[in-house]
A and B are shown apart, each in its own frame.
Chain A
Amino acid sequence: MTTNTATNTSQTNTAAQSASGEFDPITAEVIRSAFDNITTEMSLVLLRTSGSPVLTESKDFSTVLFDADLNQIGSSGYILLHMASSRRGVEAVAKARVPDDVQPGDAFICNDPHTSGALHQGDVGIVMPIFYGDELVGWTFSNAHLMDIGGAAISGFAPEARDTFSEALRFPGTRVAHNAVLDDEWVSFMRNNVRVPLSFISDLRSLVAACNVGGERMGKLIDEYGQATLKKYIDYNIKLTEKALRERIARLPDGTYQTYDYVEYDGFGDDSLNPIFCEMTVSGDQLKFKFSGCPQVAAFINAGPSASEGSLIAPIMCQLAPDIPFNEGFWNCLEIDLGEEGSILNPVVPAPVTSGHASAGMRAGRMAQEAVAAACAASDDEELRSRVSGQSSGAVTLGIWFGEDNKGNPSMFMPFGMAVGIGGSGQTTGDGQDCYGMQSTLAIKWADIEVQELDSPVLMLWRKMQPNAGGAGVTRGGLAIDEAFMLHGANNFVGMNFQSGAEIPARGASGGLPGGCGKAWLIREGEVEQLLAKGKLPTSPELVKGVVDNSLLGCQTNIPFAKGDVFRGLGGGGGGLGDPFLRDPALIQQDLIDNAISANAAEQLYGAVFVNGSSTAVDANATWANRNALRSTLVASANVALDKLPKDTCHADVLRQNGSWVCAHCDTPLTSANESWTSGTQTQERDLADLFDATDTHIRRRHRKPVTLTEHYCPSCAVCLKVNVMVDQESTPVYNTAG
C-alpha cells in the first residue's frame, strides 16, 4: 500500500491575500489558538478523570481535532505518534459510516493497528463526530494507553503471540456509545474480557467525555464565527502551515538520503535481526519517505502503518520545524510509501503487531531522524545545520508483572521508568537530555518510588542514571535510567519482559558515537535478604551478587518472579554529536564529577588524561596532546592538531564546495560531490561489544553476526567525521545530494 498524502502543492501568496482583505492573519491566529485550546481542554478532562497511571503520571495519551474533510486542525501535543493514529482512526470510522451511519453522540473505538490506525492494541482511540445542527462538521479523537484490553497481551503487549488473533481484542472503529453514554451490552462484554475492568471502563468514559467536550466547544466556535468563515480559516491555517514547511524543506539540498536499521527479536530463541530501510528524497519543497523491509515476521514487532508514520512525523515536528504550528499542512508536504505489503513495516493480517510502535516503528522513526539530520548537515544554511543530531534512543525495556500480594489482593506492576527513561541525542546546543523518552513522546514521565511501592508489593532497590549510556561526542547523548526491584509483601509473581534495543544502539552523528543499549537482567539467588539483614542496602548489582538467569530472552512472557529475585532494567542512551576527541576537557571533568561517564570511558572514548593521581581532574593540555598523538598514529597521513581547529564547526561532518565533498574541519577535499564521501576517508573498524565492554557501556553481545563500529576519519586532519554501526557489513547508509 502506498500512502500518498501529497495533495495541494499550489503555492498561495498569503501576504497578497491579507493585503486584499480576503484573510485576516489575526483572525486566523485567534482561530488556530482556539483549536489548540479545545484540544487542551479535552486533555484536561482526560487527565483529571483517568485512573491509569500511564495516562495521568506518564502522559501517554493525546487529543486531536479534525474538520469534516478529515483535516487535522488542532492537537494537544504529548504523544506525537498519535498524530498518525488519529488520522487513520478517524478515516476508518468516516469511510465506513458517513453519511448514513453516524449520529450525534456516537463514539467509536479504534484500537487495531491493522484496520483503525492504532499503534498497538493497548492504545485505545475514541472517535466522535461533531454535529452542528444536523450537519456533520468535524471529528474529535482522544487516545490513551489503557491498563488492559484483554487477550494474551498484558496491557497491550503480547511478546510470544504468533499471530494477531492471539494478541488482544481488536476494534476496527466499533460503535460503543450512543448520546455519549457507553452501551451497556458492550460494557458487560468488556467487563468479562479485560483484566482490570473497573479502570478500563472508567478510562473509556473519560475518553468519551473528552471527545464530547471537544465537540461542544467546536459548536460554540461555529456560533461565534459562522460555519463559512470558520471553514475558510481552517483551510487558510492549513495552507499557512503547509507553505511555511514547504519553504523549510526547500532550504534542504535536493537529493536522496538512505539509511537502515535492524529490528531485534529473540523471543523464539533465534536472535533474529530484521533489516529495514528508508530512503528520504528531498525534491524541491516536497519530502518523500520510502520504506522497505524484510517480510513480516510471526512476532509482535511488525509496525502497523501509524507506528511508522507517527514515528517519522516526530523529527519533522521536533527537529526540522519545531516552530511551525502543527496541522494537516505538515502531512501535505510529505509523501510516505510504506513499501510492499507484507513487510515488517507494512504488515497484513495475521501479522502480530502489539510492539509495532516500540520495535519496527521506533526504528523507522530513528531512520527518519537520521535522514532529516543528514539533509540538514548537507545544507549550507546555518540554521538548518544547527538542527543536526544523532538518533535518540528508542530502546524500550519493559516488564509487566502480576500476582497476588500476601493479603490475597491481585496486583499488577508496570515499572515505566526503564521503558521511558531513555536518552535524547546530543544537540548542537548542548548535551542530549537525560531520560528524554522517544522523540515522539513529549512530556513523558514515570511514577515515584513511593507511588510504585504503595500500589504494588515491591521494594525498589535503586533508581540511578546509568553512566556512559550517552553516546560520546562533542555534545554527548543523554543518559538513561538503571533501576531494580524485588518483591516485598508478595511471594510469587509472573510477568513479561521485552527489550527493543539491546543489541543495535542509537547512532551518533557527525562523528559522534552510539549510545548505550537498553537491557534487562533477572538475578536469582542473590544476597539481598542477607544484606538487608546486615543493615546494608543492596544498591548495585555488585552488592546484589547472585546468579543472572541466562534464560531471560529479550522478548518473553510467563517469567516466574519469586521473593528474593531481583529484576534490573536499563534504558538506552542517545547518540553523540561530533568527534568525542573534540569535546571540551572541562566538560569531561564535569561528567566525571557527575558520574555521567566513567574514568575508562573518559580515557578511551575521549582521550582524556588525568591530573596525577586523580580520577576526576582532567589535565586539559595533556588531553589535547594525547588526542593528537593517538590520532597521528591512527591516521598516518594526517597533520593532526585537534586543539587548533575552529570550534564552531565541531558538529559538522562534510561540506560541499566547488563540486567536491570537503572535510568541514579542515576544508580538505574528500571526493567529488556525486560520490559517497565516506569512500574518501580513512576508516577503522572495531567490534562494538568489545569497545562498550571496555568503556563500561551496556550492550547485549551478539555471537552470531556481531555488531561492528566503522569510524571514518578525515585523511588530512584526522577528525572523526562519521561512525556507522553495522552487522556483517550488510549495509551502509548512503547520502546523495543532487548538484
Chain B
Amino acid sequence: MTANEISLGIDVGGTHTDLCSVQGTNIVRAKALTTHDDYSVGIFNALTNVSKIIDISVDDLLAKHCRAFVNGNTIVTNSLTELKGATVGVLVTGGFSDILRVGRGARMNVRDDHLQRNLPRLVPQEFVAEIDERIDRDGEVIVALDHVQVEKEVRRLVGLGVDCIAVCFLWSTANGSHEQEAEEIIKRVAPDIFVTQSISVASVFREFERWQTAILNCYVQPPVKNFVETVADGLRARGYERSLEFFNGLGGVLTEEVVKQVPIQLYSSGPAGGAVGSAALAKRYGLDEVLCGDMGGTSFDSILIHNQQPKVVQRCTIGRFDTALSLLDIDSIGAGGGSIIHLDSRGIPQVGPQSAGSMPGPVCSGRGGTEPTVTDCMAVMGFIDPENYLGGEYELDIDAAKNALEEKVGNALGWDATRTAAGAYSLVVANMANALRELSVSRGRDPRKCTFIAYGGALPVFSASVCQKLGITDMIIPGQSSAFSAYGLLEADYIRRESATIGWLVGEEDGYGHMIATRDRLEQLIRQDLKDAGFSDGEMQITFGGDFRYVGQLAEMNMAMAKSDVEKDLGVGINPVFDVAYEEEFGPGTAWTESDLMLVNYVVTGVGLRQKPDIQPVEAKNTDASHAILSTRRLFLPDTQEWVETPIYDADKLTPGTTFDGPGVIDCKDTTIYVPPSASIKRDEYNNFRVSIRAD
C-alpha cells in the first residue's frame, strides 16, 4: 500500500462508534456516540473526528485516500435482543412445526422457577405451514413434495403479510431437492419475498439448529439490509467508490452482496474484532497460547487463541437461540463497568449481572444512576482521573459514588466506601479469572501457559490482578487499547466456510465416492465465491477439515486435514492423527481407540487474503520512565489494601523501550492501565505495553 493509502476500521457498538485509521505505520483512533436511529450519522461523526487528527478532510479521505472500509456492528445482536425483525413465514415438514416452539427443551440450568420461561417466539403459530414431504437419513424420498400445497400455503403466508419465508425440511442435508423446489415455487408465486433454505445457511444435520438459523437469517434481514444500504449510500454520496466490507462472527469480512443473502452471518459480539487483532498480535510476537479479553459496560468477554487462530466454536447459541453457526468462541459474563454492586440474600456482596448500562450509568457520572457500579468503585479508589472523566464531558461525583456504596452495601457490613469498593474489585477480578479459567480448561488449555491480551477502555485497570489470580505472568495491552476492536477489523481476511453432512466411516468404501464428490463440490463453491468477491487464485487459501466423532459418541470435534488425507488408503491414516488431536483436547487416555471414526461433516474454508496494515517494529531504547510521570495521585491499591501516593504516567511520553516497576498508573486519556506492585511494564517496539507479572 502506498504511503497515502488509508484503511479505516469502524466498530459500531452499543454506546460508542470507534474508528481506527491506519496509514503506513501511523495508527490513529477516534470515537463518536453511536446514533441508533441512523448509524451513518455516528460513523460520519467519528470520521470527522479522525479527519481532524490526520488533517485530511472527510471528502478527501473517502474519495482519494481510503483503500479499505471495514465495519463491525451489532445490528443482528440488537435485532435479536429487542426481538425486532421481519415478519417471517415458515414452511416445515409436516408433523414437526412445534420443534420451532420448543426445540430440544427450554429448561435452563437456572434454579429459579420464575425464570424458566418458554423460548422467545420469532414466528407466531399461524405463520408456520406444515408441508407434506419427507426425506430419510439416506436422502431417499419417502413422500414427494406436494407442490400444490406449497403454493397454497405460500399464498396464505403472503396474504398474512410475511416479508420472508424460511424453508425448513428434515434431512435436506441428505437431499436438498425439496427445499430447492419449494424456493422455486415461492419465487414464482411471490418474487419479492426473501427466501432462505435451511441448507443454504447451514448444510449440517440436527434440524432444530439448522431451521432456527434459517429463521434467524430471515428475521434479521430487514434491519441488516437497511443498515448496509444506509452506510453504503452515505459513503458513496461522499465519494467513496471502493467496496465495503463487513465483519462477521467468524472473524472474517464479507462483501455487501454476501451480507444481503446471509445477514445472520453478521452476528458477532463485541470483542470479535479484538480477537482478530489479538491473533495478529500473537503472530507478530510468535505466541502460541493466548487468552484475550475485553470489558464493556455490561459484560466481560473473552476468547482463546490457539496457534494464532482464534478458537471457532460450532453450533453457537445466540441468547436463547441454538444455531448451526460456527462463530468465534467468545465467552461472556456479566462483569462490566456498569455492573451493579449489591448484597445477596445472605448479606454477601455481589457484582452484577444486573447493569446500570450507559443510561443511567454509574452514580459518579451524575446522570441519575442510584445503584453503585464497578465504575463507581474505581472512582472511589482513585483510579479515574477526576479532571478527565469521559474526556472531560462529565463531572466526576465521587461523593455520590461513596454514598451509594455505603448506603446500598457497606453499611450493612460495617464498611466504609473504600473497603466496599476494594471488595467489589476483588469480586470482579475473581469472576473474570473464573471465566478465563473455565474458557481455557474447557478447551483443554492451561491458563498459566497463556499470554493475556487485555484491551478495551475498562479492562486494563483489572487485567494485571486477573493475571495474578490465574498465575499468568505475561500480558500485552495494545497501544490502541480502547479502539483495538476497530483496529482488529483491519486484520481480518475474507472468510467463507461451507460444510455438508455426509456421515462417512473413515476407511470404508461405502459412501467414499459421495464424500469425495461432496468435498469437491464444496471446494468449487468456495472458489467461485472467493472469485466473485474479487480474489485471484493467488490470494486464495483453501483449507479442508472435518467434524469427526467416534461411533457411539454424539458430539463432533473439528480437525483440519489436507485435501488428500481422505484419499490415501480410504483415509485410514486419519484415525491415529485424530486420536492424538482428541487426547490433546480432552486429556491422555480419553480417545475411543476401539471405536470406528465417522467423518460427520466435511468442512471447506476459503480465505481471501486481504492487504493488512503494515506494522513494523521501531527502535526500542531501554530507558527509565521517570520523565513520563505526569503527577501522583492517592490510590487505594487492591494489592496492599491501603492508600498509596502513586505515580501517574503519561502514555504519550512512554516511548518504546521505556520500563517501570509498579505500582503505577498509565493515563492513556481513554484508558487507564494499572501496574500493581508485583508487576513491571515496558512500552515495546510495537508501541504496545508488555507487562510482566511475578507469580505470588
Contact = CB atoms under 8 A, between A and B. Distances in A.
A complexed with B = yes
B423 A26 contact: yes
A243 B118 contact: no
Interface in A3-48: 14-15, 18-19, 24-30, 33-34, 37, 40-41, 44-45, 47-48
A318 B426 contact: no
Given A26-B427, A29-B349, A535-B143, A437 B413 contact: no
A437 B105 CA distance: 9
A639 B94 CA distance: 49
B107 A442 contact: yes
A442 B109 contact: yes
B350 interface: yes
Contact of B111 (A77, A196, A199): A77
B587 interface: yes
Contact of B94 (A319, A435, A459, A537): A537
- Provide the main secondary structure of the chain B interface: loop
Categorize the interface residue count of chain B: 35 or more
A244 B346 contact: yes
A450 B412 contact: no
B274 to A, nearest CB: 24
A424 interface: yes
B696 to A, nearest CB: 8
A448 B207 contact: yes
B367 interface: no
Interface string B343-376: 0111111100000000000000000000000000
A49 B586 contact: yes
B240 interface: no
Contact of B106 (A19, A44, A434): A434
Given A198-B594, A488-B136, A450 B170 contact: yes
A250 interface: no
A325 B345 CA distance: 9
A29 B350 contact: yes
Contact of B348 (A28, A77, A455): A28
Given A51-B554, A318-B112, A453 B346 contact: no
B146 A433 contact: no
Interface residues of A, number: 103
Given A427-B114, A454-B137, A30 B105 contact: no
B3 interface: no
B414 A15 contact: yes
B206 A450 contact: yes
A366 interface: no
Contacts of B99: 449, 463
A51 B552 contact: yes
A631 to B, nearest CB: 30
A318 B124 contact: no
A136 to B, nearest CB: 24
A462 B205 contact: no
A322 B112 CA distance: 5
A57 interface: yes
Contacts of A451: 205-206, 554
Nearest to B146: A535
Interface string A369-393: 0000000000000000011010000
Contact of A437 (B98, B107, B137, B345): B107
B333 to A, nearest CB: 11
Contacts, number: 243
Contacts of A26: 349, 423, 426-427
Interface in B95-111: 95-99, 101-102, 104-111
- Provide the main secondary structure of the chain A interface: mixed
A614 to B, nearest CB: 13
Interface in B105-158: 105-114, 116-118, 124-126, 130, 132-134, 136-137, 142-144, 146
B206 A453 contact: no
A33 B430 contact: yes
Given A389-B113, A537-B95, A323 B345 contact: yes
Interface stretch (A137-145, A202-210, A655-663): A202-210
A351 interface: no
Contact of B113 (A196, A427, A435): A427
Contacts of A387: 113
A481 B431 CA distance: 38
Interface in A427-454: 427-431, 433-437, 439, 441-451, 453-454
B104 A461 contact: no
A430 B554 contact: no
Contact of A25 (B118, B423, B555, B587): B423
B113 A536 contact: no
21 contacts: A14-B346, A26-B423, A33-B430, A37-B437, A48-B586, A49-B587, A56-B553, A196-B552, A198-B595, A206-B590, A322-B113, A323-B344, A389-B113, A434-B106, A435-B107, A442-B107, A450-B206, A461-B95, A463-B98, A535-B146, A593-B124
Interface of A: 14-15, 18-19, 24-30, 33-34, 37, 40-41, 44-45, 47-51, 53, 56-57, 59, 77-78, 181, 196, 198-199, 202, 205-206, 209, 240-241, 243-244, 248, 317-319, 321-326, 386-387, 389, 420-421, 424-425, 427-431, 433-437, 439, 441-451, 453-455, 459-465, 478, 481, 488, 532, 535-540, 593-595
Can you list the 7 inter-chain pairs with the closest CB atoms, starting with the nearest? A462-B95, A322-B112, A539-B95, A443-B109, A19-B414, A26-B423, A537-B94
